[in-house]
Chain A
Amino acid sequence: MDWIHVVLVALVLSNLLALGSSRIGVCIRVVALQGWLLGALTMLVHAEHLTVRLGLLAVANVVVKGAVIPWLLGRAVREAEVRREVEPFVGYTLSLLFGLSALVGFRWLGSRLEVAGPEASRFALPVAFFTIYVGSFLIITRRKAVSQVIGYLVMENGIGVVGVALVGGVTMLVELGMLLDVFVAVFVMGIAICHINREFDHIDADRLNLLKG
């Protein structure tokens, strides 16, 4: 059994779940799951020559993306008292169909690209593209600020998959820097959500357009 393949399939399924679910709690859990999957992917891809550096990196990934950030988001959601995304710009069923067609497209693209990398990357590249696509789709089509933060995180995970599966070894400093960036970004967005919520009693980002003079 090819476990890398299984992890990648699980990643795609988690993306589809994020596209089709209206509950923000589910989306937060999806992001947490993706953090764990990314950690597992790092371990699996380098299973043969696992170093302390890579192990630490995987653990740091899991701790930050799989535990700390979901906890922060959960707090923000509780304080803003939003449970569901109401009326996204594109409905859930249509989002799923968009996701499916993108998946087919990226699969085709992946079969056309010559990838210079480990063999595992043949399926990893379409999955990475798909994850980035789903992230940007969530940012564009959802109204609530929390959902947009979730979209940002999903996109970041997609970039992470590219890094793990294709590049193989980014230096530890760069990886840790990226993790820190994401952490700080989510922190700042959490504060921003709190402020929007306190000021306007809701976190519908599209209604901020009304502020224009």
Chain B
Amino acid sequence: MAAAWLNMAIALVLAPLLVGIIQRTKALVAGRTGAPLLQPYHDLAKLLRKGAVYSRTTTWVFRAGPVVGLASVLSALVLLPFGSAPALLSFEGDLVLLAYLLGLMRFFTVVAALDTGSSFEGMGASREVQFAALAEPALFLGLATLARQTGSLSLSGIFASVSGDGWLHAGPALALVAVALGIVFLAENCRIPFDDPATHLELTMIHEVMVLDHGGPDLAFILYGASLKLWILGALLVGLVLPVRTGHAGADNAVTLAGMFALAVGVGLVESMMARLRLLRVPQLLVGAAVLSAFAFVLILG
């Protein structure tokens, strides 16, 4: 239990650092020095000191969006196993709850965006929901494959039984799930090639456009929530790809943490090398991810 509390604290403290690592990697690859690694923390502190401005056309929904978003992603964090330690709370079927807590976060972001009445935000909301609907089958089929392979329905159980042995036994299926989860990870966190977090061209952006009207503490909540979401989906991916079990909890945690930072560097490299996909191509790639997950499920059934 102490390990689970420690992991929760690690996630809460280090999640914005992942964003900092991604940005620093992009800057270094582009030949710039870039912002310091701790820049996201400074941004959060600055935003929290400010006051919020609310448009007269918005209602309580607009104010509830960031708060509910942060609350649901924090609840999702409670269900997340990390390293070899189980989650703070786990029960049969908690993987469905995890997916839908992230869904609830998205729903309130979308509703808050629609509440502003701005056409740009409506466009972003529509795209976000469309892509999320396609990413969900990929995530669920991937998790179902893992559940079937490990014979457990809770995230802690699944990630406790994924091991080097499992990779030897069902390597192709697990590799397919890892690829599908990787695509979902990039799509859900609005990274290139699905969405460009740095763009400010309203016609092409997805997530950024939905939060344009939020400011001050609200924006800080949204940014912090997004980095926690990055941490959660990243931890699922790293837990699958790096199932290191040395028998020493501290060593396992260190390896998984190193995996998270490597993942952030990887995302930075992908963003430096790839361009954003055309919006029409995005659904195709997401359906491709779902097909990979489904194929893995078919493989594991045999």
Contacts and interface: CB of A to CB of B under 8 A. Distances in A.
Do the two chains bind?
yes
Interface of A: 1, 5-6, 9, 12-13, 16, 20, 92-93, 96-97, 99-100, 103-104, 107, 111, 122-123
B287 A93 contact: yes
B302 A122 contact: yes
Nearest to B173: A9
Contact of A5 (B172, B283, B287): B172
A20 B288 contact: yes
Nearest to B284: A93
Given A1-B168, A107-B302, A122-B302, A96 B287 contact: yes
A96 B301 contact: no
Contacts, number: 39
Contacts of B287: 93, 96-97
Contacts of A123: 302
Contacts of A12: 295
Contact of A107 (B168, B176, B283, B301): B301
A12 B176 CA distance: 12
Contacts of A9: 172, 176, 299
Interface in B250-284: 283-284
A34 B171 CA distance: 21
A1 B170 CA distance: 8
A16 B283 CA distance: 16
B77 interface: no
Contacts of B30: none
A100 B291 contact: yes
A12 B294 CA distance: 12
B302 A97 contact: no
A9 B77 CA distance: 35
B295 A16 contact: yes
15 contacts: A1-B171, A5-B172, A9-B172, A9-B176, A9-B299, A12-B295, A13-B295, A16-B288, A96-B287, A96-B288, A97-B287, A97-B291, A99-B291, A103-B298, A104-B294
Contacts of B288: 16, 20, 96
B301 A100 contact: no
A12 B299 CA distance: 11
A109 to B, nearest CB: 12
B298 A16 contact: no
A12 B175 CA distance: 14
Nearest to A104: B298
B42 to A, nearest CB: 43
Contacts of A97: 287, 291
B172 A16 contact: no
Nearest to B298: A107
A20 B284 contact: yes
